[in-house]
């Protein structure tokens, strides 16, 4: 990993209905992310937060629930700003660390990264696959669509952000921790051959083997790997401050092990941590967990 880290906050809650996740970047900073990473002899550049537009009253696509996309214009504009920022960070030979915000921010992150890699890999550490489209989404919430959009599947205003078409290939994606998948997502995962480790595989194989296989799989086919870490991948007992908690998740210690193994592999070239919602949290526990996991990702050791 690069020694210099450029951190950018994306205080956006437009990708879903539940309020509060826009305060995620502030909560993570309050939990001491700068100090934690500086203690690891990392050169930290905090670029502040991207300005996010207002929540829109109208929805794209008319009245039918299956055709609606909430806050399409504002999310498109924010994603473009983020893509431009991430592009500049990578061009300056710095490691992009993005703080969310809901998971729709990954649209902009991956669009900016795609300018620099021929075969960008993605580790999607999440309870959800986020490969819905407006046709398959039960809610019309864009935070359930960013991985599909990044594969070039979805509304053209979103797939066309910072360059037309796919930003990542399906065969370069590994989803870890999935346990809440919609029927349309299951179908798309099968059609595209996306590699997924559900909680069944994690329980059966163990996190060590899951990460060994993930690292080996991505190392041989990618020229850079982005970690997109949704805090709802963890069990709600360990990360209560998320908008869409799903019981039976990855443990705190398993997640530390995963981050430690990624650090040892020197595979990860960018990262984002998303869906920290301090309104739903307990004394900022989830933000503190996010910071602790960042510590492991960037080289913090127990001994």
b/e burial code for range 271-291 (CB count within 10 A of at least 16 → b): bbbbbbbbebbeebbbbbbbb
Could you give the CA distance from residue 162 to residue 124 in angstroms, rounded to a whole number?
A: 21
Mean pLDDT, the chain, whole residue set: 94
Beta strands in the chain (DSSP E): 4-10, 43-49, 59-60, 69-70, 95-100, 120-125, 173-178, 195-198, 224-230, 268-274
Residue 103 marked ligand-binding: yes
In the predicted structure, residue 71 carries a pLDDT above the cut 80:
yes
The pLDDT of residue 2: 72
Could you give the CA distance from residue 247 to residue 288 in angstroms, rounded to a whole number?
A: 20
Phi, psi of 176 (to 5 degrees): -125, 125
Residues in CB range of 80: below 8 A, 6 or more apart: 108, 111, 161, 162
Could you give the CA distance from residue 231 to residue 128 in angstroms, rounded to a whole number?
A: 11
The whole-number average pLDDT for the span 46-66 is: 69
Residue 22 marked ligand-binding: no
Residue written as tokens 């993005």?
98
Could you give the CA distance from residue 129 to residue 186 in angstroms, rounded to a whole number?
A: 9
Residues taking part in catalysis: 103, 126, 128, 130, 143, 230, 232, 275
The pLDDT of residue 64: 39
Closest CA to 7 of 302, 299, 298: 298
As a residue count, the chain comes to 303
Could you give the CA distance from residue 193 to residue 213 in angstroms, rounded to a whole number?
A: 16
Structure tokens belonging to residue 212: 């060994």
Residue 130 marked ligand-binding: yes
The pLDDT of residue 57: 53
- Whole-model pTM: value is 0.95
Domains and CATH numbers, the chain: 4-297 (3.40.800.10)
Residue 237 marked ligand-binding: no
How does pLDDT run across 182-196, given as a tens digit for each residue? 999 999 999 999 999
In the predicted structure, residue 134 carries a pLDDT above the cut 90:
no
């Amino acid at each position: 990993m690069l020694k210099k880290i450029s951190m950018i906050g994306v205080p956006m809650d437009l990708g879903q209905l539940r309020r509060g996740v826009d305060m995620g970047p502030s909560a993570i900073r309050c939990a001491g992310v700068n100090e934690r990473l500086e203690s690891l002899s990392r050169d930290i550049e905090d670029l502040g937060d991207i300005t996010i537009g207002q929540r829109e009253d109208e929805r794209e696509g008319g009245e039918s629930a299956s055709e609606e996309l909430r806050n399409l214009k504002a999310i498109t504009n924010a994603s473009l700003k983020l893509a431009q920022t991430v592009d500049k960070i990578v061009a300056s030979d710095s490691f992009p660390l993005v703080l969310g915000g809901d998971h729709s921010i990954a649209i902009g992150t991956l669009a900016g990264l795609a300018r620099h890699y021929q075969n960008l890999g993605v580790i999607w550490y999440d309870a959800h696959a986020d490969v819905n489209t407006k046709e398959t989404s039960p809610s019309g919430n864009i935070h359930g669509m960013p991985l599909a959009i990044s594969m070039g599947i979805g509304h053209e205003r979103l797939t066309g952000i910072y360059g037309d078409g796919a930003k990542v290939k399906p065969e370069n994606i590994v989803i870890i921790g999935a346990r809440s998948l919609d029927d349309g997502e299951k179908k798309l995962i099968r059609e595209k051959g996306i590699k997924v480790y559900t909680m069944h595989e994690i329980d059966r194989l163990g996190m060590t083997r899951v990460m060994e296989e993930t690292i080996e799989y991505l190392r041989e086919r990618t020229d850079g790997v982005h970690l997109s870490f949704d805090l709802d991948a963890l069990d709600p007992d360990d990360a209560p401050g998320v908008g869409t908690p799903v019981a039976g998740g990855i443990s705190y210690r398993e997640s530390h092990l995963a981050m430690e193994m990624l650090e040892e592999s020197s595979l990860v070239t960018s990262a984002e941590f998303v869906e920290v919602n301090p309104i739903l949290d307990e004394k900022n526990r989830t933000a503190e967990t996010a910071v602790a996991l960042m510590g492991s990702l960037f080289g913090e050791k127990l001994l």
